[in-house]
Chains A and B, each alone.
Chain A
Amino acid sequence: MTDSIATTPLTSWHRAAGATMSPFAGFDMPIHYGSIVTEHNACRNAATLFDVSHMGRIRFDGDRSAELLDRLLTRRVSDLAPGGIRYSLMCNEEGGILDDVLVYHIEKPSGGRFHMLVVNASNRQKIIEWLTPRMAEYPDVICTDRTELTSMIALQGPLAMATVEGLFKHPADKLGYYHSYVTEQFNKPVIVSRTGYTGEDGLELITRADEAARIWENLMLAGRKHGIQAAGLGCRDTLRLEAGMPLYGHELSESIDPISAGLGFACNFKDRTFIGSEALAKIKAAPPQSVRVGIRVEGVRPAREGCQILDANEQNIGAITSGTVSPTLQYPIAMGYVAAEHSQIGSPLTIDIRGKRAAATVAALPFYKRNR
């Protein structure tokens, strides 16, 4: 553990609850509170609460903030209505992915609007450094890193909405997917969004840092009758993998472009330019060499990140980027990049798992989809 490890407003709660803690992106974060599988199943069947305060929250105030974000993001922000949220990518000039982000357009109850980016914890400093020189042309836009002033809590699972019934000044039940609003809990503002990273229904809450522990406790209490469970980053990873969601540092990096990553839907070129758009238009025009796929591994042994993917002639055709045994499906699942000609669903693959061969096939993503 380094000297500079950061805590979240909920770290002492996690420790008191007996969590196994580990440094993650500079923060002391809970990995699990006893069992990743138990927490995973609670999220699929009931409700779970995650501390995601380590994720970066960067706020943009000023009339030209949408214009600035239009320049930085692969998707248009200027047509995002107040209350709307959009998944987007931030790319470098070559089209490599700097980060995948959520951009919020928030309407304050007192009037006035602002934009906010939620970025990956591991990319927060990089993104701020990337933004700084590019802000120069927008002196009227004020950019504030709100990460340490606020806390972010994810409530996920089929009983998430039942859990918050009666908890907020304005109920969340009518909130549309990928929409947010500002409400209050005990007269303190909370940004509530219908988003998440588990494949389940749920909400993400952004609160003032000094309100986080109280709101967390209230949610735990309100969710008790629904079987709510505090959950750590361990099951967040197995949940998102089952849901086929890429994770920065694994499926996404600066050496991967959004087209190869299967995120072409999050790049909008029509009548606009943004940083990287020229490079991405060229990449889009030529079919990608290597693409992100879902992989079902035969047998019981999971393939892990870094395992090489081979064809029938033992030639290397790719590598695993994430892998585990799916707690829901009870068999090993993985994501990885393979040469495009081997990327059709059903294509046979061989995985080199630390020297031993395992048979596998390209599988449709997501591995798990909830009943809506």
Chain B
Amino acid sequence: MNQEELLYAETHEWVHVESGVATIGITTFAAEQLTDLVYMELPEVGRQLNVGEEFGEVESVKAVSPLYSPVAGEVIEINTELPSKLDLLGSDAFGAGWMIKVRVSGEPDASKLLNHEAYQKQCAEGN
């Protein structure tokens, strides 16, 4: 994924929409902040998600972090390999580290998401 073409949630999820299907993951920045990942939980295929709804969680040695959907729609695919290969979130967060694919109902609301530049700015400010 070209990071500059992605949209980002303030909660560090990235989303790429193509032909009505959104691919969602979390950023390298988020994975590095979490460090020492030990577990993750992803939703079932077929689940309907609203914008901002919790779709799973990722856990580090220290804490649990919820994952929020940046789009609304139906989960059509999950990355089943990922929970046993959490290293991918650090090494290839925008590629093999994708989490779920969602058939979006309508276009994502870009006004509620950040472009690459705005997201970089948020990270630089330490949020």
Contacts and interface: CB of A to CB of B under 8 A. Distances in A.
Interface of A: 20, 31-32, 34-37, 40, 234, 237-238, 300-302, 304, 324-325, 327, 354
Contacts of B36: 35-37, 327
A31 B38 CA distance: 17
B124 interface: no
A363 B34 CA distance: 29
B64 to A, nearest CB: 6
Interface in B17-55: 33, 35-36, 38-39, 41
A302 B62 contact: no
A5 to B, nearest CB: 16
A324 B61 CA distance: 6
Interface residues of B, number: 12
Contacts of B59: 301-302
Contact of A36 (B33, B39, B61, B64): B61
A266 to B, nearest CB: 29
A20 B57 CA distance: 22
A35 B38 contact: no
Contacts of B33: 20
Interface of B: 33, 35-36, 38-39, 41, 57, 59-62, 64
A327 B36 CA distance: 9
Contact of B62 (A34, A324, A354): A324
A143 to B, nearest CB: 36
A327 B39 CA distance: 13
A324 B36 CA distance: 11
Contacts of B35: 32, 34-37
Nearest to A238: B61
Contacts of A304: 64
A237 B38 CA distance: 16
A327 B60 CA distance: 11
Nearest to A233: B62
Contacts of A301: 39, 41, 59
B62 A36 contact: yes
Best-buried of B33, B60, B62 by chain A (most CB within 10 Å): B62
